[in-house]
């Protein structure tokens, strides 16, 4: 193993529940190298998305620490954590969360405008990312005028417009048909290499997971190594959890 850039130690996430505490996971440890492309697999409800939210600073662990390099993000104030997310991490979700009243270009500009970047510079950067994902001809279209695959490509452009070092993706192909999903994952792989990203994907698609440099499975409140071959395929859908 090389240098670990993302390190999570003794993470737990517990939610209060009417019948007692609900423990999603406890004592989770994770080290991710720079440049690694890591897949997190596991059955629904295993805690993959919860872990991704913690790693992205969108939620606070009940206990444990998360470091990016020498910086502990679990100890940051809310404003510092927001700035860290904006500059360091690109997010891709299963649901695109594009703002319907804005064009593709304006949606991609948003992270830079929030950062305080001049509008002209933000537009130039957004156009470059849209061109990179093959949507230069669709920059003036709103979300409702784009196909599902095109919407997800806008999301990829938005995630990368701020030049993050880390990409966190939660079921990035989950709402797409298999052929479109393959295209999006091909693009994710290409962007991972081109932008020298450290990437973590939560996915139910085992075929895509096995294309990553490492696969970890969430089960029984913890992480274990694996290639996903021992996870059942309900509904007879090969390649899916």
Low-confidence ranges of the chain (pLDDT < 70): 1-2, 227-241
Residue-wise pLDDT for 136-159, tens only, equals: 999 999 999 999 999 999 999 999
pLDDT of residue 234: 35
| Predicted pLDDT of residue 151 | 95
In the prediction, which pLDDT does 237 show? 38
Q: What digits encode the pLDDT tens for the residues 163-183? A: 999 999 999 988 888 899 999
CB 129 within 8 A of CB 161: yes
Domain ranges of the chain: 36-57+77-236
CA-to-CA distance for 199 and 167, rounded, in angstroms?
5
Q: So what's the pLDDT on residue 227?
A: 56
Residue 107 is predicted with a pLDDT of 97
For 236-239, the CB contacts below 8 A with 24+ separation are 239/205, 239/206, 239/207
pLDDT of residue 75: 86
Please check whether the domain covering 36-57+77-236 is classified as CATH 3.40.50.300. Answer: yes
């Amino acid at each position: 193993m090389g240098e670990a850039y993302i390190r999570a130690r003794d993470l737990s996430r517990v939610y209060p529940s009417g019948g007692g505490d609900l423990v999603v996971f406890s004592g989770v440890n994770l080290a991710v190298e720079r440049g690694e492309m890591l897949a997190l697999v596991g059955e629904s409800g295993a805690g993959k998305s919860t872990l991704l939210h913690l790693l992205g600073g969108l939620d606070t662990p009940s206990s444990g620490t998360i470091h990016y390099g020498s910086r502990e993000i679990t100890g940051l104030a809310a404003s510092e954590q927001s700035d860290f997310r904006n500059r360091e991490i690109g997010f891709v979700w299963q649901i695109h969360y594009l703002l319907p009243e804005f064009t593709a270009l304006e949606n991609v500009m948003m992270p830079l405008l929030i950062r305080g970047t001049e509008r002209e510079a933000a537009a130039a950067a957004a156009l470059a990312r849209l061109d990179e994902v093959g949507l230069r001809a669709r920059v003036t279209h709103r979300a409702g005028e784009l196909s599902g695959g095109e919407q997800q490509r806008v999301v990829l452009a938005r995630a990368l417009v701020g030049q993050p070092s880390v990409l966190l993706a939660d079921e990035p192909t989950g709402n797409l048909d298999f052929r479109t999903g393959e295209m999006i994952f091909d693009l994710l792989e290409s962007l991972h290499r081109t932008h020298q990203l450290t990437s973590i994907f939560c996915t139910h698609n085992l075929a895509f997971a096995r294309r990553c440099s490492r696969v970890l499975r969430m089960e029984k409140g913890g992480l274990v190594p694996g290639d996903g071959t021992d996870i059942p395929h309900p509904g007879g859908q090969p390649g899916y959890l």
